[in-house]
A = this chain, B = another copy of it.
Amino acid sequence: MSDSVVPPPAQPPVKLETPQQFREFIDQFDTFLFDCDGVLWSGSQQIPHVGEVLNYLRDLGKSLIFVTNNSTASRQSYVPKFEKLGLSVDPSEVFPSSYSAACYISTVLQIPTGSKLFVIGESGITSELTDLGYIVLGGDNEEDRRAWHDEEYDAIVPDGDVKAVVVGLDRHINYAKLARGYHHLQVPGCHFIATNTDATYPSSRKLFPGAGSILAPLELMVGRKAVSCGKPHPAMMDAIEGVRGVDRARTCMVGDRLDTDVKFGVDSGLGGTLAVLTGVVKEEEIVSGRFGVWSKYYAESLGELIKAKQQ
């Protein structure tokens, strides 16, 4: 990621404003991927008209997928959050990075169910992997959260049956988990998977260590990068495609960040990207292609799409 100069695309980002523009935009796509915070809601408030827009798109037969880098939750545990904000959602429409990692392991890497996986992470990733039939070592197991005595570390040895080390945000990270992850990664062929690489994690209007910060020691020790299954990495799109069979040319990513959401759409070869101004990105950053990332479209808000219903 850098601010180095990237030439603008032949067609600069188009601002959608009229009912006609919104109708033509919607007609191009069968599937819409949505970032959540800053797109559907801001803090604890639904962004105006978003609920109507989502229902309108569903009525038109569009597929909706809500993609989030949060790995601490599973699909099922995300539903109450939507409902609290007045948004109806089906668990099958939610695609957190915990599920993305599980799908990538299952459908892209095709690691057989019943295999052992070593997890550094919380209940979201543990439950998604267990639901798919994997044997999870580590994860949110209470025994693995306790403080170890110094003399116990020497007993750590690689387990040749561990097919992947899977790393997400773990607020119970400890030295033993890092050491065990490192030793398992010494086994030839052991895959190295991350739910996402965000350095920080927002909570209660403050920042805390994110999945990328839990991952950093392991990447440093083993001298290689994990495959990240979160935005902006295209492996997340491979995972979505593996379970949902989308047509990328007729799929649009909607987000409030150029460096994660829009970059994810561009790098995944999607037919479209829509940046909205209800979150992080500012209009001047969109038109100047900040981070060298150019969205195809932008709009004031996802709620504006309701204009498409006007005659």
**A residues bordering B, Cβ < 8 Å?**
145-148, 150, 153-154, 156, 170-175, 178-179, 182-183, 199-200, 203-204, 206-210, 212-214, 216-221
Contact = CB atoms under 8 A, between A and B. Distances in A.
A207 B182 contact: yes
Copies in the complex: 2
A212 B220 contact: yes
Contact of A208 (B147, B182, B203): B182
A171 B176 CA distance: 8
Given A172-B175, A179-B208, A213-B218, 6 more contacts: A153-B203, A171-B175, A175-B209, A182-B208, A213-B220, A216-B217
A178 B217 contact: no
Contacts of A221: 199-200, 207, 209-210, 213
Given A147-B146, A216-B220, A171 B153 contact: yes
A162 B49 CA distance: 46
B147 A178 contact: no
Nearest to A150: B171
B208 A213 contact: no
Contact of A204 (B145, B154, B208): B154
B147 A172 contact: yes
Contacts of A179: 208-209
6 contacts: A147-B174, A153-B203, A174-B174, A175-B208, A213-B218, A216-B220
A170 B174 CA distance: 10
B199 A154 contact: no
Nearest to A151: B204
